């Protein structure tokens, strides 16, 4: 028997009284969680309540506590001789005093033949009207115990399936509870994780922001997400939660700030489907109540946002990051991807949509039929990871070295870097290599992520002037052995490619396809922009022109270095993020 079940009624009421005396719900949650771990009363009182609780709190009066909730008779009749049920319901009633509908439902509960249905109705009311209450209840597992005592829910040892018919009718407010209530091991694991989060918050402050990321594999969207995370860790003044919702991390995460807590939902035992992941994420948000919730390409978080009541999300700032429109067909008529699937249905629940390029913020949002929500769009150009390691002088020195080497070389060394997948237009890269076989070598950095069985990938391996360099962890590896002359970029769709920003930071002349936000960095004064229809022929013409006019190469690339330093520095990024958070009233 746990200490909760063996504790005296007086001791349990004492704890409830202490929690009721705290105006800060976060501290109330913390004290109730600590009480479950068996912390001595005097320690709790001296640590958290020495200024908030009067001396007579040591002698709790049942009438006083229950009278505050206006539900004395209902509570007494429900709890009977079960002290832990008493504590849970007193906590519930204390938080919903004044809510006539909830009071009535609780009053009907003991003698009703529809106990389960009424209990679900109570949860519906609390989830929509009093979401902060569920944080207290879940942290104490009161709902689980109440239902188990009343023989409504199977015991932890039981394998009997839970009756889902009641949940289907009220899925928005109740289905999130299913897995945690029905799976004892998952419930215990969640609460152990919650304890660790609360311990973290004791050291670094309450959780002010939560960022949900699908996974981490070092891609552009994931790195953009980590940049947001680092900024929140600096500006929030408290703890920040990073949730990997879908597939964990496929490569090692970079070092995270000390006040960031990592929650990898994929590590929970028995979690296999999206609804289970949504359940864990929802309960985490309920328990921690962050002021800001940011979604970056997380299918689980988007699915949860679809189902969340508007009343719930109104208590926090909700941001999504969307970078580009994706298309299912070459003619670009069928829009797919995160933005198309989620923004139209969830835009009313979002306080802001953050993107890294103006193209999506203007044209993309209109394509989705959301032009009336233009005021929610915010452009924050991503910061370059090389900003503090490669100086302006370094970039100019590298540019001059390229010009000199290009003047003396008989062949142009072209760098292509990225995922070797269909959406990155490997077919155009292959055509360009064939077109320029007589005077260019293509050094290709990256590896297939989706499929290594594409015909174009096999053809690249056989192409004589293509050198497959393999995966890379930093753009500095592109020139580990020798200096390269030009950077070539291809893609079917794009936001603002990080790889372009990094190439510009290294002082590389750039030829890039005109997709997404590319033209906001590469245009006729800063590089060479090429159209999709004739990319291979255009590239051959451009490369030949470079050899004939090195002065123009230098002029455009110097302008590119100036622009990228102005637009994508750490300082510029911090200013843009601060402006966004001030607009959202996240801090003053």
Domain limits, the chain: 3-174, 186-379, 392-568
Q: Where are the beta strands (DSSP E) in 288-339?
A: 292-296, 317-321, 326-327, 335-336
What pLDDT does 343 receive? 92
DSSP character for 384? P
What pLDDT does 448 receive? 77
In terms of average pLDDT, the best of 11-20, 381-390, 501-510 is 501-510
Pick from 16, 402, 33: nearest CA to 198: 33
Cβ pair 306, 342 in contact under 8 A: yes
CA pair distance 43, 18, nearest whole angstrom: 12
pLDDT tens digits for 163-220? Answer: 333 333 333 333 334 344 445 556 667 777 877 887 888 888 889 999 999 988 777 8
Pick from 198, 278, 152, 179: nearest CA to 25: 198
Residue 494 in 3-state DSSP?
coil
Q: Is the pLDDT of residue 246 over 80?
A: yes
Cβ pair 9, 86 in contact under 8 A: yes
Cβ pair 182, 153 in contact under 8 A: yes
Helix, strand, coil tally for the chain in percent (to 5): 55, 10, 35
CA pair distance 370, 517, nearest whole angstrom: 19
Lowest mean pLDDT among 124-128, 205-209, 265-269, 328-332: 124-128
Cβ pair 60, 50 in contact under 8 A: no
Cβ pair 536, 350 in contact under 8 A: no
Residue 22 in 3-state DSSP?
coil
- Rg (C-alpha) for the chain, rounded Å, is 29
Q: HSE (CB half, 13 Å, CA atoms) of 146?
A: 27
How far is C-alpha 168 from the geometric centre of its chain's CA atoms?
Answer: 27
In angstroms, the Cα distances linking 384 to 9, 40, 111, 516, 579 are: 59, 51, 64, 18, 19
Residue 289 in 3-state DSSP?
coil
Pick from 320, 228, 293: nearest CA to 573: 228
CB environment 248-282: b (16+ within 10 A), e (fewer): ebeeeeeeeeebbbebbbeebeebeeebbbbbbbb
- Sheet order of strands, 466-470 included: 466-470, 440-445, 412-417, 486-489, 510-513, 528-530
DSSP character for 152? -
CATH of the domain spanning 186-379? 3.40.50
Cβ pair 543, 439 in contact under 8 A: yes
CA pair distance 148, 311, nearest whole angstrom: 29
Query: Selecting from 3.40.50.2000, 3.10.200.10, 1.20.1250.20, 3.40.50.300, what CATH number does the domain 392-568 have?
Result: 3.40.50.2000
Pick from 24, 30, 137, 29: nearest CA to 87: 137
CA pair distance 535, 190, nearest whole angstrom: 52
What pLDDT does 287 receive? 74
In terms of average pLDDT, the best of 94-103, 188-197, 322-331, 374-383 is 374-383
Identical fold between 186-379 and 392-568: yes
pLDDT-derived band at 533 (thresholds 50, 70, 90) equals confident
415: β partners: 443, 487
Angle at 69 between CA 65 and CA 70, to 5 degrees: 115
In terms of average pLDDT, the best of 250-259, 413-422, 426-435, 556-565 is 556-565
What's this model's pTM, rounded to 2 decimal places? 0.69
For residues 51 and 19, the model is more confident at: 19
Residue 38 in 3-state DSSP?
coil
DSSP character for 516? T
Percent of the chain with pLDDT over 90: 38
What pLDDT does 153 receive? 31
**CB burial of residue 74 (10 Å; 0-12, 13-18, 19+):** buried
pLDDT tens digits for 290-336? Answer: 999 999 999 999 999 988 777 778 788 999 999 988 877 666 677 77
Angle at 485 between CA 479 and CA 491, to 5 degrees: 90
CA pair distance 264, 266, nearest whole angstrom: 5
């Amino acid at each position: 028997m746990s200490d909760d079940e063996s504790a005296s009624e007086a001791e349990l009421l004492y704890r409830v009284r202490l929690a009721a005396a705290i105006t800060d719900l976060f501290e109330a949650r913390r004290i109730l969680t600590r009480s479950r771990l068996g912390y001595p009363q005097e320690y709790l009182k001296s640590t958290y309540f020495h200024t908030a609780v009067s001396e007579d709190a040591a002698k709790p009066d049942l009438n006083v506590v229950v009278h505050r909730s206006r539900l004395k008779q209902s509570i007494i009749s429900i709890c009977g001789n079960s002290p832990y049920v008493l504590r849970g319901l007193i906590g519930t009633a204390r938080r919903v005093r004044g809510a006539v509908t909830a009071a009535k439902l609780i009053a009907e509960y003991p003698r009703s033949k529809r106990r389960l249905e009424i209990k679900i109705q109570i949860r519906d009311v609390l989830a929509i009207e009093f979401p902060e209450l569920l944080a207290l209840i879940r942290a104490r597992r009161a709902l689980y115990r109440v239902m188990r005592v009343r023989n409504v829910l199977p015991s932890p040892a039981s394998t009997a399936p839970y009756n889902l018919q009641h949940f289907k009718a009220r899925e928005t407010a109740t289905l999130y509870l299913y897995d945690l209530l029905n799976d004892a091991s998952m419930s215990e694991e969640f609460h152990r994780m919650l304890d660790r989060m609360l311990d973290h918050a004791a050291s670094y402050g309450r959780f002010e922001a939560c960022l949900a990321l699908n996974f981490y594999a070092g891609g552009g969207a994931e790195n953009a997400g980590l940049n947001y995370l680092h900024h929140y860790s600096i500006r929030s003044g408290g703890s920040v939660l990073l949730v990997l919702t879908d597939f964990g991390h496929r490569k090692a995460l970079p070092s995270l700030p000390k006040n960031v807590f990592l929650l990898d939902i994929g590590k929970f035992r028995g979690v296999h489907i999206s609804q289970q992941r949504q359940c864990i994420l929802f309960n985490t948000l309920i328990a921690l109540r962050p002021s800001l919730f940011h979604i970056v390409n997380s299918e689980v978080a988007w699915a949860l946002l679809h189902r969340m009541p508007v009343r719930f999300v109104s208590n926090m700032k909700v941001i999504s990051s969307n970078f580009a429109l994706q298309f299912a067909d070459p003619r670009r008529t069928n829009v797919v991807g995160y933005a198309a699937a989620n923004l139209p249905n969830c835009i009313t629940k979002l306080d802001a949509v953050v993107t890294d390029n103006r193209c999506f913020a203007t044209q993309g949002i209109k394509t989705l039929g959301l032009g009336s929500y233009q005021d929610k769009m915010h452009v924050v150009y991503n910061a370059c990871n090389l900003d503090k390691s490669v100086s302006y002088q370094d970039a100019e020195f590298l540019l001059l070295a390229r010009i000199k080497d290009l003047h003396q070389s008989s062949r142009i060394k072209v760098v292509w870097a990225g995922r070797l997948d269909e959406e990155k237009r490997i077919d155009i890269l292959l055509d360009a290599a064939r077109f320029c076989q007589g005077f260019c070598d293509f050094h290709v950095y990256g590896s297939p992520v989706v499929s290594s069985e594409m015909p174009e990938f096999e053809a690249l391996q056989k192409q004589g002037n293509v050198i497959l360099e393999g995966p890379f962890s930093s753009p500095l590896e592109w020139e580990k052995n020798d200096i390269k002359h030009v950077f070539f970029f291809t893609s079917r769709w794009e936001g603002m490619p990080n790889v372009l920003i990094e190439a510009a930071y290294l002082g590389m002349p750039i030829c890039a396809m005109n997709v997404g936000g590319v033209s906001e960095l590469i245009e006729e004064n800063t590089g060479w922009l090429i159209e999709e229809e004739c990319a291979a022929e255009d590239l051959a013409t451009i490369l030949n022109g470079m050899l004939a006019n090195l002065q123009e190469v230098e002029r455009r690339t110097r302008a590119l270095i100036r622009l990228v330093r102005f637009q994508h520095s750490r300082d510029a990024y911090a200013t843009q993020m601060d402006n966004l958070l001030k607009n959202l009233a996240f801090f003053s």
